[in-house]
Amino acid sequence: MSSVQSVERSKVLRAVDSISGLCGSVGVYMIIFITAVLTYEAVARYFFHAPTQWTQDISVTLQIWFTYLGMALVLRDGKMIRITAVLGVAPTWMRYACEALALVIILLFSLMATIKGWDVVSDSIRLGRRQPTMLALPNWIAELPVVLGFALLAVQSGAELIRLPFRGPPTFAPESELEADDADLGVLNQQGNRS
């Protein structure tokens, strides 16, 4: 078995990827739940003149959760925002070096955010801080996803750093972005022709 295959088959790396994928799936269900809650609020408010007091708090809190829980999945799938004007034509070694540098920066920032975020969460729990909203939820409920999300992002960036030397060189091809734009234009043209 080659070193590339052994790295890709690593149980630890696959577990990290699975956790990122699971968090992404949970985020999808959160979006569906938020949609249902906001639909319920609109119907209750405009048709029955009985607005709720909890929908905004729940929706905003879940938006925070799915945003931070999804960061590791975005990194795993290579969907982070990149500036590729120079890297698209750079030599292979430079692409590897820039990718490694980016992953190290993500890892270090994520570790710092996790540590500082945990300080904030523990203070909120200790002091009993609450949100200044109708439900007055404890602050830590909206602060905890920042800690979890950055911890997951740190672990995922570490996994990507381990994989980096064993994969092909990072690609930063503007053609893929153009293909996506062309596909979007094709869909829009088809919709325009139907109307």
The pLDDT tens digits of the residues spanning 71-107 come to 999 999 988 887 777 777 778 888 889 889 999 999 9
Structurally, the chain folds into a number of domains equal to 1
- Give domain status of residue 142, yes or no: yes
Q: Is residue 117 part of a domain?
A: yes
Tally of CB atoms within 10 A around 37: 17
Residue range(s) defining the domain that contains residue 40: 3-173
Model confidence, pTM: 0.80
Judge contact between 76 and 155, C-beta under 8 A.
Answer: no
Residue labelled with tokens 């696959």: 14
Residues 26-77 pLDDT 10s: 999 999 999 999 999 999 989 988 888 888 899 999 999 999 999 999 999 9
Residue 185 within a domain: no
Res 83: pLDDT = 74
Between CA 34 and CA 62 the distance in angstroms is 7
